[in-house]
Structures are given as C-alpha cells and as structure tokens.
Amino acid sequence: MIKLRTIPLLPFSVIIAIAVFSLTILYSISGGSFSPWCVKQIWRVLLGIAALIVALNIETKVWRKYALAIYMMSLVALALVAVMGKISMGAQRWIKFGALTLQPSELMRISLIMLLARYFSTRSVDENKEAKTLLVPTLLTIIPVGFVLLQPDLGTAMLLILTFLSVLFVCGVQIWKFVTIFISALISAPILWKSLYEYQKQRILMFLNPEMDPSGAGYHIIQAKIALGSGGFWGKGLLNGTQSQLNFLPEKQTDFIFGALGEELGFVGCTLLLFLYVVLFIYNYKVALFTQSKFARIMVFGINAMMFFYVIINIFMVCGLFPVVGIPLPFFSYGGNALLVLMFCQGLIFSADCEHSKK
C-alpha cells in the first residue's frame, strides 16, 4: 500500500517548489516554449516522484540487507560502460538499452553510500578510529572512482570522494587523518596532474585565468559570470535574459542553469532557490540526527552530504570559484538520470523519517 499520507509535507513541498521553479526557468530560456526541455522535464519529475514513493515504501533494513548486491551491480554497470558505453561530447558515461539511457555513475553514488553505511553501522566509534578499519571502505571507494575517471568524469569522481570523507567524519574518524589525506593529496598533485586528460587540465587552467582563452576553453566560465552578474538584484525578468536567450550561455539548461536564473531573476531569484535548499538540508540533517537506526543515520547523512556538494560545486562552478566539472543542480537542472536518483534518495530519507516517527 502506498503511504502517500506519510510523505513529510514540508520537505516534499520544497522539492516540488524547486522542480516548478526549474520548469519556469526552462520555459523562459526556451523563448517562452514548452519545447524542447519543459515537456520532457515534466515527465521526468513525475517519474522521479514515483521513484520517491517507491523508496518511501521500502524499509531501510531492506537496503541494509542488499547493500553489497546493489553495490556490485552498480560496479558491473560501471565496468560495462568501458566496453559498450555510449560516447557523447567526448565522454563515455552512458549505457543505452533501446530508448533507455542509463548513467551507472549516478547509481554508484547511492550504492556506495548504502554499503559504507552498512559497513560502519556494524562497528563502534572506537573501532572506526583504527586505521585498519578504514582499509575496506577506502578500497570500496577507490575502485568505482577509478572506473569513473576512465570515462572520464572528474566531477562524479570528486563527489564520490567527498561523500566518502563525509561518511568517515560522521562515523568518528579523527581529524588528523583527514589532515593526512589532504597533505597526501598535495604531495601527489604532480602525479595526478599528469594523469588528467588534456581537456581537464584546460578546465583547471581556465578556472585560474579564463581570459587566457576567452573564445575557447575559458568561454563557459566567462559567459556564466556575465549572465549571473548582469541580472543585478531583481534580474532582467523572465524571457529577457540576453545571454541565455541569444545562446551565449552554454549548457544553460543543465550545468549553467544557475547562471540563467541569476540573469533573469537576479539576486532575489538565486536567494530564493538557496533558501529552498537550506530548508531541505536542515530537514535531512534532523532526520539523520534523530533516527534510531545507525545504518539509516549514516545513510541519510551521506545522502545529505552528497546533495550539499552537488549544490556547492555547481554554484561555485557558475560563479567561477571552481573548475567546470559538469555537476548538475539537484532537482533544478534539466536531465533524467540525476533527477531520478536524487528523488529516490530523498524517498530513502523520508522512509527513515517515517520509521522513526512510528517508534
């Protein structure tokens, strides 16, 4: 039986508000048309709500039981991308099944969180402080990160690592170990730089100085900053954004939709969207704080951290404070795979909340 009445009204309303807000911007940057993006996105939102309801109706202990199996299936799917993946815009990240296109890296984000939550839920805080306890979860993270980097998808690899570190933090791993990881990353930076693809190096260099190539590699950052800054406080108004309407702003419906929002609705529109995200993050954090299941607590915290990094990286990227890595804005950017996975993830959080409310 579908537990529609158990859906927490406030956070669900926030998600719907973000989705409607997104549809409004997509309609506007399409020149006042429901095609090519609005109609498809409406169906994806409806499908995402269905995924949310499915997750809501499954107890969290089920995910704990099958976490390893889900992780292994996601890992196999990632491996298949290298063999039979669909190449688009120079990257090989998707598997096509007829009319369905699947991005396994999206599934890996949540399956990794589930498996890490299962692993750490069976161990005490004192055990988590031991270095040997971290070997298995580190390996579980490094393997999919390696597959993702081969696609190549630097943004998703960074999200997996940041989510992993967030889970370690909430499980009681000492601060000095994070400092050690940071220092190790700095020392290995030259090696990591050599392993990057040429276009990834260009993105980092353009982040540091986009004016080096304003009509080439630095074009995305420059146009995004122009769009965001030109909106001022109130914005130019819907249908009046020159950068988006005249197609100067690249990927205006996906990675750089925050720039289109800033141009048309200004500081006020951007602040409203950020406020909606803050409300959602606070709710998710409260669920993680008060749920009695250790597995659910770690899983919810990990999901909330992942969503938080989605938002921060995307907005910083549009503002020119972070290299362009292709991270969408949760529930707001145009797209299917990320939206479905995030809706499903929010359903998992709702399920944990409902289980806590019954006790």
| DSSP code for 131 | G
pTM of the model: 0.89
The number of folded domains in the chain is 1
What does the DSSP assignment read for 7-33? S-HHHHHHHHHHHHHHHHHHHHHTTS-
Q: Side chain identity at 273, as an amino acid letter?
A: L
The full 3-state SS of 198-227, as one line of letters, equals HHHHHHHHHHHCHHHCCCCCCHHHHHHHHH
H or E stretch covering 94? strand 91-97
Domain of residue 292: give its range.
4-358
CB atoms within 10 A of CB 47: 14
CB burial string 184-220: b at 16+ within 10 A, e below: eeeeeeeeeeeeeeeebebbeebbeebeeeeeebbbb
Q: Which tens digits make up the pLDDT trace of 79-137?
A: 888 776 665 555 566 677 666 677 888 889 999 999 999 999 988 878 877 778 888 99
How far, in Å, CA of 276 to CA of 260, rounded?
18
Burial of 177 from C-beta contacts in 10 A (0-12 / 13-18 / 19+)? middle
Task: Give me the residue label for tokens 């995924």.
Answer: 51
Q: Provide the pLDDT for residue 355.
A: 79
Q: Which tens digits make up the pLDDT trace of 255-285?
A: 899 999 999 999 999 999 999 999 999 999 9
